[in-house]
């Protein structure tokens, strides 16, 4: 899907050294505001596939944590700034892209 490829590109541009572990939770929370749960999982799989085993475990733990607790606004804003630096068009607060339930 082109949108997910764009997101991975923005992540790599915003985090040229790779996403640090402490940014996984706010990153997935931010993505969850704009993407479906399935799309967030696909992005996580892409990130996990390009990382080591420790990164894969941290990514899975972060996704689990996002479903149980909201990250701090300061963490969201830090991640948003990294994504904005990479050209992320959704870096500012706005309506979510999640589809309406049918």
Helix, strand, coil fractions of the chain, as percent rounded to 5: 65, 0, 35
Q: Does 99 fall in a domain?
A: no
Q: Does 45 fall in a domain?
A: yes
Residue identified by tokens 């607060």 is 93
Burial (CB < 10 A; 0-12, 13-18, 19+), residue 85, is: middle
Question: How far is 32 from 36, CA to CA, in rounded Å?
Answer: 7
Q: Does 49 fall in a domain?
A: yes
Question: Residue 29 sits in a domain of what CATH number?
Answer: 1.10.150.430
pLDDT tens profile 3-21: 788 888 888 888 888 888 8
Q: Does 57 fall in a domain?
A: yes
Quote the pTM value: 0.67
Give the total number of structural domains in the chain. 1
Q: Does 101 fall in a domain?
A: no
Q: Does 97 fall in a domain?
A: no
Q: Please give the residue range of the domain that contains residue 60.
A: 2-85
Closest alpha carbon to 46 in 89, 88, 4, 91: 4
Asked whether the CA dihedral 23, 11, 49, 19 is positive or negative, the reply is: negative
pLDDT tens profile 65-84: 877 777 888 888 888 888 88
Q: Does 100 fall in a domain?
A: no
């Amino acid at each position: 899907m082109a949108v997910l490829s764009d997101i991975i590109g923005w992540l790599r541009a915003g985090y040229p050294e790779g996403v640090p572990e402490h940014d996984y939770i706010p990153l997935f929370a931010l993505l969850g505001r704009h993407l479906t749960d399935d799309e967030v999982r696909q992005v996580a799989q892409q990130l996990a596939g390009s990382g080591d085993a420790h990164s894969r475990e941290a990514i899975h733990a972060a996704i689990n944590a996002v479903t149980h607790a909201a990250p701090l606004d300061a963490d969201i804003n830090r991640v948003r700034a990294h994504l904005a630096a990479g050209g992320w068009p959704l870096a500012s607060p706005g309506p979510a892209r999640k589809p309406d339930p049918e």
